[in-house]
Amino acid sequence: MSIDLSLDRIRKLYTLLPPYTRPTVHIAGTNGKGSVSALVSSILRYANPPLSVGRFNSPHLVSVYDCIILNDQEVTAETYENTRSSIQKLAHKNELEISSFELLTLTALQIFEDAQIDIVVMEVGMGGRLDATNVIPDDCIAVSALTAVDLDHQAFLGNTVSAITREKAAIGRKGKPFVFGKQKHSEVEEVCREVIGRVGGELLLAAEVSRREWDTSIDGPFPSSSEEFQPPPQTVTMDLSCFTDAVCARLPLYGDHQIDNLGLAASVVSVLACHPSCESLKLAERLTMDAVIRGIEAVKWPGRLSFHVVDSGKLVVLVDGAHNPASAMTLGLFIKDLLHRRPRSRTITLTYILGLSHSPPKTPTQTLSPLLPPDVGETDVQVQVRVAVLRFSPPEGMPWVKSIPPSELEAVVKKLCPVAEIWVGQDENTGDLPSALKWAGTGVTGEHLVVLAGSLYLVADFYRVMR
């Protein structure tokens, strides 16, 4: 079944299942949903006494069921298959044809309900108003949240930021807090205030997070990374309404955007602890400052500005799921910052491994132009650019996802960065990442950074290779 945004099918099947009753955090947005959900769930896991936490992210990374997390562990294949099969049989019995994502969403909700999870953190798949996750009843939603909104999926959500915002803000619920994350586009807040006001929700602005200097009395000794490109954690501070003192922590997620994501995630936690509408959860004494700090510092979110050493230490690979112009811009700025950290008058080889999905009206040129040629700014560092273009493996359960032919990407790279050395993968719909990594590791001397980006499906291929 192709993408058909509607809640009619899933609502009919939902009513036939055991009621879903778990308190839920619902997160929409264009970029940052996964990072915010990872931060929220990590903090909740450090509550005292501990909370059981479920998390649902999409798309999956390596296996289709790794998008369903129970207490920091992906659900077992057996639990996933048994629950999915029972829902699928119920749909067939009642002659209800549902999409694979609708089936996945109901499977996740049923698993969380069966496990009697204390709090569930749900990431919207696409949009919000008509997304399958919006089938969750109003009384289960403890708080809704919105990450950064930008142009993406215009064919389904609208051609302007305002139109897309309207779809995403529609997850807001009557009488419930809606935490609003930092935005690049000013019109997002105006539209959100209108939508949330109309449904009778309460819009709350996310906390401001600031960088601070490394303080050995708080942060301990300054870390020495075994990998010279990888920077130390970001040292941050913020004020939250549920605490009298400022929160100071080390954030192991990189980039300015993760500072903003942390502000949103911490504000969601603060709302869960202190907002009158969440009083029945009785979390005020359990979500201590220590829980917030430990949760922030323990967070993991693979495939988003993640450093890995492969091929017996020969290759340093920066892996990021940047797949649209906004997230590519974020990646480009991070690479620029890495290059600025290098000693002056050095030559660095920068090898991109790129695979993109077909997602009109977004074009490969729009997505890749923030990366090619790399912006080195005012520095004496010389950068030699190499680019591998390839397909990713077809993602399980998503037949509508198609990768762009390598020859098409090659033409875009030649136009954007004529001096780049280019390797072109086989034009077969099977993925060619091992060959691309082998090419990336040959013929290079001196400092070398490999950047793998363009699609979370390519990121998934990388983690399969690493297994």
User: Residue 2 pLDDT more than 90?
Assistant: no
Average pLDDT over residues 61-69: 93
Q: Would you place residue 377 in the very low, low, confident or very high pLDDT band (cuts 50, 70, 90)? A: confident
Judged by phi (left if over 0) then psi (alpha if -120 to 50, else beta), residue 465 lies in alpha
Give the model confidence (pLDDT) of 196-218 as tens digits.
Answer: 999 999 999 999 999 999 999 88
Give the model confidence (pLDDT) of 317-374 as tens digits.
Answer: 999 999 999 899 999 999 998 888 776 658 899 999 999 999 888 899 999 999 999 9
Q: Which CATH number fits domain 306-466: 3.40.50.2300, 3.20.20.70, 3.90.190.20, 3.40.50.2020?
A: 3.90.190.20
Average pLDDT over residues 299-313: 89
Average pLDDT over residues 283-290: 96
Amino acid at 173: R
- Is the pTM higher than 0.75? yes
Look at the domain 8-298 and name its fold.
UDP-N-acetylmuramoyl-L-alanine:D-glutamate ligase (3.40.1190)
- Taking residue 401's Cβ as centre, other Cβ atoms within 10 Å add up to 16
Give me the pLDDT at residue 1, please.
45
- Report the percent of the chain where pLDDT is more than 90: 79
Alpha carbons within 13 angstroms on the beta-carbon side of residue 369 total 8
Give the model confidence (pLDDT) of 31-57 as tens digits.
Answer: 899 999 999 999 999 999 999 999 999
Domain ranges of the chain: 8-298, 306-466
Q: Would you place residue 10 in the very low, low, confident or very high pLDDT band (cuts 50, 70, 90)? A: very high
- Report the percent of the chain where pLDDT is more than 70: 96
Mean pLDDT across the chain: 93
Phi (first) and psi of residue 25, to 5 degrees: -100, 125
